[in-house]
Each structure stands twice: as structure tokens, then as C-alpha cells.
Amino acid sequence: MTDFLLELRSEEIPARMQAGARADLEKLFRKALDAAGLKAGEVTVWSTPRRLALIARDLPRATEAVSEETKGPKTSAPEQALEGFLRKTGLTKDQLTERDGVWFAVTEKPGRATKDVLAEAIPAIIRAFPWPKSQRWGAASLSTESLRWVRPLSGIVAILGEDLVECEIGGVKSGYATRGHRFHCPGEITIGSAHDYAEKLRACHVIVDHVEREALVRDKAKAAAEVVGLVLVEDEGLVIENAGLTEWPVPLLGRFDEAFLDVPPEVIQLTARVNQKYFICRDAGGKLANAFVCTANIEAKDGGAAIVDGNRKVLAARLSDARFFWEQDKKKPLSVHAEKLGRITFHEKLGTVADKVERVAKLARWLVEEGIVKPEISNIRHSREGGNSASATPDWTPAFAGVTKEELADQAELAARLCKADLVTEMVGEFPELQGLMGGYYARAEGLPDAVADAIRDHYKPVGQGDDVPTAPVTVAVALADKLDTLGAFFSIDEKPTGSKDPFALRRAAIAVLALLQANGIRISVVRVVAVLVFAGMVFPQRSANATSMAQFLDKWRDTVLSLRPSGIIEFFDDFRKKSVEGNRSNEVLIGMFESFIRACQELPTFLADRLKVQQREAGVRHDLIDAVFALGGEDDLVRLLARVHALQAFVGTEDGTNLLAGYKRAANILKKEGFTANPNAGSEGEGIVPPTGEEDPLAMVDDPALKGVAAQFSHPEQNYVREPAEQALVDALAVAAPQAQDAVAAEDFAGAMAALATLRGPIDAFFESVIVNDADANKRASRLALLDQFRAAVHKVADFSRIEG
């Protein structure tokens, strides 16, 4: 047993790639040993900017000898088969062994020296190494087939025990020699074995163990701050990055001009962190201090004075840029900055960011005016959490008491109009990650109300799972409007996510919308939202040659359409689409426009419902129950969908639920067997369709799914026989339960709807017990099938039970 050391030395490996490289090196090494039949015990992998190192403990000196047995043809097989087998194995017939009438070839493989295995494995590992980016270099790169590595590979140390493992790749030969610290010990050093490797490097100012360097950075940076009475803002990402940039880390504290502290702390932190990889510090009171900690790679002759001074200057130059931006930006109010948004394309088919802002502003106002986002929306939350506004008021006082709907609408519209203005400020141009945050600062600096400034700051939220979901009404209105607009607009131009492609992050926007709706208990019809966006100018400003007349036209219809139910809205657009196709008014632009409205109305609710489905599945709700509710279709209120799913989940857990489900399945099977066509609309919600012309259309009434059941009863064959008691009981029970369930659904009392269905359980069980559906009398048969169909229809008022498993 002996230990093996491998060091792959190169020019500076990017810090961000080192962790992955360590994992890959271990994986490839273990795979190579496995393939050779060598057992790998403990394997340690280290990295510095200039080397990857691996130590494998207790490797055997050689692989074990193995005898391999290959199965050949049967002894009874034709001669050719045996000849073929002998050729393949290179043996003669007398070298084969026979067992149970089958020839076997046994080959003895002697053990191989581990050193030989490694000598082959090392070049193969290097060649197969999966760097995220790699390059060629030097004279050998005359051919594109030359070796690739993350940066030029300069040396290989490979020692098994105390023996050199000889190998060569890309002109680099293995040896005992490596190099120490680039500046402290630039000469060659000779390594004896895995045992003295780390200590020899340490003597040459290289701490090869990255974990040790990380601890050094962490502890010494903290200590450097403590010495001057400050608290380091801990940042594990920076710890790892600085350890990945140094072989001999020396954290040093420096100061910057206090005057820079006028700049928002986030800006200072970002400047220091992203551009310079410095830690920042706070004073005892938690305020940002005018100090930074940089991590040098040398033990400087002057104790680091020159390094600190140089870094201070660089930071000062960057901070004065930032301060310049901050002051420049503040010279103009956000409303003036916002004027420039007309120059930024949002999407070539969707106009500019200014167009988007216009839509978001109108939608945000509408959300408030419609009472969808309410002034008192988050009273409870706010007073409980003791947020900003609650600090001065007693717990029981609603945080937003006193704000009228009209005031809230004004604030939401104002915040929406300004929420993207910071995109054209100098600061956000320099630090895009500060979008929103800077808008909030600038809004406060110009004296806008806190609610507006907060909304501008937070309107991108929630960004990803685990992010705070806004609850302040103005913020909720703007955040929702912004995301819904993005969704509606991209759906209208048919830019939907497909597979893994989601270039406009629409899935994320959808998840954020769901989170906002759920956290704030907001009810919303997606179709109506799309309609608001349409009237706010979605699609037509850029594409239509006569945008003004289009706007006037749409303006005329706005109030009418927005008073319609979702299905009526779609009908309205479709009606105009048809009119655009017909006759001498046929107009490609108009057709395309109405088609895109309809597309958004139809596809966006489904998309959001799908996201909700995924979200609920992840939350552990049975997928079949989700399907059962979602299969009904025609529902664009996500909160209502969710309430239904939850009620159904509770119901199927009860004995009544289980039995009703069994009865339902039996009825459905009989109907299916008898080829009894299902009533296609039996389960749908029954949104009344208001004709877009405003005229009453009697035919539309018949099509109304809500009346389908009633109509069906009348259309069934006349019942001209005496019903059996159980049959009559079911008829009676249905007469009560069906409207009850329907009313309960309409009142969104889903538990009540379930309770109504539960009353059908006894009668349906009894019906199947004693009544023969498939009676010889065609009349009886038809009547009973119709009864079962009614039963099924009643159940479908609540959910599509055919989707439920079990």
C-alpha cells in the first residue's frame, strides 16, 4: 500500500472554476482506477489558482491477477463455430475447458503495476477534463488538435510512493519538480512524495489546501475589521473567490473617504464586491463604515502599505464615478428620466419600454379601481410584522387606513409610470443589478410618498422562489401589472416558452403572479386583464399604420368590453375578427391584431393554470385532483381554481367521497359502454355570454351551458312507466342536489358543493343495488341512462371525477 500524488500546474485558473475542477478531477481519477480494477481509498483534492492537486491514500502496488472466463459455443455446435471462437480468443482447442457441454476459454490476466496504470490514466484524464472553457497555446497549437486546458498547462508532478510516474502530454513531462509562490519563491522545488507535498509548498509560500485558505481569508478579514472596532459584512462567496485568487492570502484593511458614504450603501457594497472583490464593514451601530478589506497574495515588504494605498485609490475612482452618477441622476426627477424610455425597445413587435409603461400604468390603476387590489389589502400582515408604517401606529390600526381607493389608484398609476425610469439613469446603466432599488432611492430623494417609492423599489419582486412577496397595496398593484403585461404582451405575439426555452422568463413571471395573488388573496380574471392591456394599446402602436384611429376605435368600446364576462370578451374580439375578414373591410392588420388578442385571452389562462398545477404538485397536492378540477376548463380565476382543488381534496378523503366516486365510476362506465354521448358542457362553469352588439340573442341562451341540464331534461324521451323506488329516489335526490351543487359553486362555497354531492351517495348506491339500467324496454333503458347522465352532469358541476384515481 502506498500513496499517490498528482499535481497539475497551470497558469491562473479562474476562481469560479476551481470547485468544479476539483470535483471533476476526483471523479475522473476514481473512474480510471475503477476501470483498472484498483480500489480507491481516501482521495483528497486541493486547488490554488496555479494548481490542481490530488492525493490518493493506500493504493495497492499492483492490480490483482484475474482469470477471465469467456463462454464459447456448445460442444455439439458445428466445427465452424468452434473455429471462430478459437480465432477470437487466440487459443488452441486443447487450451479450452469444457463444462456442461459448453466450451470456455480461460485467460489469466497477470496483475499490472499501479504505476503503469497511472502513467496511462494521467494523460487520459487531462485530455478528457471537462473545463467550462478551454484553450490551445504555444507552438503546438499550429494544429487545432493540440492539447486544450483551461490556461496553458505548465507542469505535472506524479509520484507513487517515492517513485515518479512517468508520463507526457502536450510536451509536458511528469517530474518531481514544481514551483512555489510566483513572487516569494519563483524557483523550482522538488517534491519527495505525497507526504511532504503540502508542507514543502507551505515553506514556499503556497497554502495548497483551499479550505485552509478560505478559513484564513474568513478569519483574518474579520480580525482586520475587529482591530479597528468594525464588523465585517460576512460574504462566503467573496471568501471562496479570494481564496481562489491567492496562494498566500493576506487580508488587509483600508479606508476610503467618508464623503462617499452619501451614496446609497448598496451601491458602495456592489462597487466594492463585484468590481474589486473587497469585503465591506459596518460600525457597531450597523451603519456602513468607510472601510474595506482586500485580500493580497503576498507578504509585502512594506507590510502592505503600498497595496492598501493602491486599492484605496482604485476604490475611490470607482466610488467617485458612482457618486457622480448618483448626483447626476438626482438632478432630474424620475418623470424626466422616464421620457427617455421611448428610445428603448421592449421588443420589436411590442414597441418601446414607454409603451409598456403606459400599459402597466393603466392596468395598475384598473386593478385598484376594480377593487381587485384594495387599500386595506395587507392591514393584518403589516401590523403584525411591524413594518415601516406600523412603527408609529398601534397594532390594531390598519396600516393604510385613510387612503381612499381614488388615492390608491393615483399612487399606483404614478408608481407604475416611474417604475422603469431608473433603467435610463447613469447608475443603473453602470450597475444593472440595482434596477428598482435606485428608482426607489431617487423617488424618495425627490420627495415622492414612501408608498410610491417602495412600489418603485419592489415592483420586480418576487424574483424567484424564497424572495419576499410584496403586500403593500401600491407595490402589489404595480408588481402585478408589470408581470401581467409582460405575460399578456408576449402571448399576444405568440412568444411562448417552449421546452427548456423561455427567453423572456415568462415562467418566472407567471410564478411571481401566482405568488402575488396567493399572498394577497387577490381574485383576478386573466381574460379581463388582457382586455385592459388591449385597450391600453397592446400590439397596435407599432404595427398599425393608423394607430390613432385604432386607438379611437378601441376607446369607444373600452367600457362596454370591460363590463363583459371573460367569455363575452373573447366573443367580442372574435366578432370583430370575423368582421375584419368579411367583405370589403377585409384588413390584414386588423385580422392579425384581433387574432393576437384572442390568442392572449385563450392561452394565457391555461399557461397560468399550468404553472399553478406545477406549483400545487410541488406542494404535494394529488395531481389527479388538480387535473379533475382543471379539466373543466373555462376558468381563468386562479384563486377559485385553487379553492376547488382544496375542497375536492378534503372531500375525496371522506367515506362519502370514496363511495360517491365509486358510484360515479360505475355510472360513467355504463354510459360509456352504451355509447351514451356525454354532455360536453355539463360541467363547465356557465359564464353567460353577452352578445357584443348588446342585442339579445335567443340562440345564445340555449347554448348557455348553465341551461344545458334543464334543456336536456326536456329533450329526453318521455318517461311513460312507473319508476322503481330507488330510481325515483335518485331522481328526487338529483332534483335537490344538482341545483344545490350548482348554486354552491356559483357562490364559491366549494365545501357546500361537495356536501350537496355527498347527499347523492346513498341514492346512487341504492339505484345500482336494485335497478337494472339495461332493461329490455328501450324506453326504460333510455330514461335510466339519461338519469345516470344527469347524475354525471351534476357531479361535473364540481369536478371531472373521471380524472380521479382510485
Partner 1 sequence: MKELPLWQGEQVDLAALIGQSPGIMAEPTQKPLSLQDMILRLHAFWSEQGCLILQPYDMRMGAGTFHTATTLRALGPEPWNAAFVQPCRRPTDGRYGENPNRLQHYYQYQVILKPSPENLQELYLQSLVEIGIDPLVHDIRFVEDDWESPTLGAWGLGWEVWCDGMEVTQFTYFQQMGGFDCKPVAGELTYGLERLAMYIQGVDNVYDLAFNNHGVTYGDVFLENEKQMSKWNFEVADTDSLFEGFRRAEAECVRSLEAGVPIAAYEQAIEASHLFNLLQARGVISVQERASYMGRVRDLARGSCEKFMEKNADQWAAKYPEWSK
Residues of the shown chain interacting with partner 1 in the complex, contacts defined by CB under 8 A: 11-12, 14-16, 49, 133-145, 150-152, 154, 182-187, 245-246, 276, 278, 294, 296-298, 300-302, 306-307, 309-311, 313-315, 317, 343-345, 348
Q: Which CA distances in Å does 775 have to 666, 779, 782?
A: 17, 8, 9
State how beta strands 172-175 and 153-160 pair.
parallel
Return the number of the residue (315 or 412) whose C-beta is nearest partner 1.
315
Return the number of the residue (148 or 784) whose C-beta is nearest partner 1.
148
Return the number of the residue (59 or 423) whose C-beta is nearest partner 1.
423
Question: H/E/C letters for each residue in 140-159?
Answer: HHHCCCCCCECCCEEEEEEE
Q: From the CB of 79, what's the least distance to partner 1, in Å?
A: 49
Return the number of the residue (315 or 427) whose C-beta is nearest partner 1.
315
Return the number of the residue (308 or 741) whose C-beta is nearest partner 1.
308
Q: From the CB of 391, what's the least distance to partner 1, in Å?
A: 41
Q: From the CB of 315, what's the least distance to partner 1, in Å?
A: 7
Q: From the CB of 699, what's the least distance to partner 1, in Å?
A: 49
Residue among 473, 438, 437 nearest 458 (CA) = 437
Q: From the CB of 142, what's the least distance to partner 1, in Å?
A: 5
Written as nine digits, the cell of 633 is 376548463
Query: Side chain identity at 3, as an amino acid letter?
Result: D
Q: From the CB of 303, what's the least distance to partner 1, in Å?
A: 10
Are 319 and 284 in contact, with CB atoms under 8 Å apart? Answer: no
State how beta strands 188-190 and 177-179 pair.
antiparallel
Written as nine digits, the cell of 525 is 380574471
Alpha helices, H only, 278-352 = 305-330, 334-338
Return the number of the residue (309 or 777) whose C-beta is nearest partner 1.
309
Return the number of the residue (312 or 565) whose C-beta is nearest partner 1.
312
Query: What's the rounded Cα separation, in Å, for the pair 787 and 793?
Result: 10
Residue among 704, 667, 674 nearest 790 (CA) = 667
Query: Side chain identity at 722, as an amino acid letter?
Result: V
Q: Which CA distances in Å does 48 have to 53, 173, 177, 277, 617?
A: 9, 21, 17, 17, 44
Query: Side chain identity at 121, as an amino acid letter?
Result: A
CB atoms under 10 Å from CB of 157, counted, come to 22
Return the number of the residue (296 or 437) whose C-beta is nearest partner 1.
296
Distance of CA 279 to the CA centre of its chain: 30
Q: From the CB of 491, what's the least distance to partner 1, in Å?
A: 23
Return the number of the residue (268 or 771) whose C-beta is nearest partner 1.
268
Q: From the CB of 619, what's the least distance to partner 1, in Å?
A: 40
Return the number of the residue (489 or 609) whose C-beta is nearest partner 1.
489
Return the number of the residue (148 or 461) whose C-beta is nearest partner 1.
148
Alpha helices, H only, 245-352 = 265-270, 276, 305-330, 334-338
Q: From the CB of 498, what's the least distance to partner 1, in Å?
A: 24
Return the number of the residue (214 or 458) whose C-beta is nearest partner 1.
214
Query: What's the rounded Cα separation, in Å, for the pair 746 and 752?
Result: 11
Are 56 and 2 in contact, with CB atoms under 8 Å apart? Answer: no
Query: What's the rounded Cα separation, in Å, for the pair 602 and 597?
Result: 9
Q: From the CB of 353, what's the least distance to partner 1, in Å?
A: 10
Q: Which residues contact 785 (CB under 8 A, 6 or more apart)?
A: 670, 671, 674, 676, 773
Q: From the CB of 117, what's the least distance to partner 1, in Å?
A: 30
Query: What's the rounded Cα separation, in Å, for the pair 543 and 715?
Result: 50
Return the number of the residue (133 or 331) whose C-beta is nearest partner 1.
133
Query: Side chain identity at 293, as an amino acid letter?
Result: V
- Kindly report the CA angle at 29 between 23 and 31, in degrees rounded to 5? 100
Return the number of the residue (44 or 276) whose C-beta is nearest partner 1.
276
Element (H, E) at 528: helix 526-535
Q: From the CB of 145, what's the least distance to partner 1, in Å?
A: 8
First CA to last CA across the chain, in angstroms? 59
Q: From the CB of 60, what's the least distance to partner 1, in Å?
A: 37
With b for 16 or more beta-carbon neighbours within 10 A and e for fewer, the 451-480 pattern comes to bbbbbbbbbbbbeeeeeebbbbbbbbbbbb
Return the number of the residue (204 or 754) whose C-beta is nearest partner 1.
204
Query: What's the rounded Cα separation, in Å, for the pair 47 and 103?
Result: 53
Q: From the CB of 456, what's the least distance to partner 1, in Å?
A: 23
Q: From the CB of 33, what's the least distance to partner 1, in Å?
A: 31
Are 459 and 479 in contact, with CB atoms under 8 Å apart? Answer: yes
Return the number of the residue (108 or 348) whose C-beta is nearest partner 1.
348
Return the number of the residue (15 or 591) whose C-beta is nearest partner 1.
15
Q: From the CB of 50, what's the least distance to partner 1, in Å?
A: 9
Query: What's the rounded Cα separation, in Å, for the pair 421 and 339?
Result: 8
Written as nine digits, the cell of 171 is 510536451
Q: From the CB of 585, what's the least distance to partner 1, in Å?
A: 32
State how beta strands 153-160 and 102-109 pair.
unpaired
Query: What's the rounded Cα separation, in Å, for the pair 309 and 303?
Result: 12
DSSP letter assigned to residue 678: -
Question: H/E/C letters for each residue in 446-497?
Answer: CCCCHHHHHHHHHCCCCCCCCCCCCCCHHHHHHHHHHHHHHHHHHHHCCCCC
Q: From the CB of 297, what's the least distance to partner 1, in Å?
A: 6
* Torsional class of 521: left (φ above 0), alpha (ψ -120 to 50), beta (otherwise): left
Q: Which residues contact 77 (CB under 8 A, 6 or more apart)?
A: none
Beta bridge partners of 160: 4, 163
Return the number of the residue (332 or 507) whose C-beta is nearest partner 1.
332
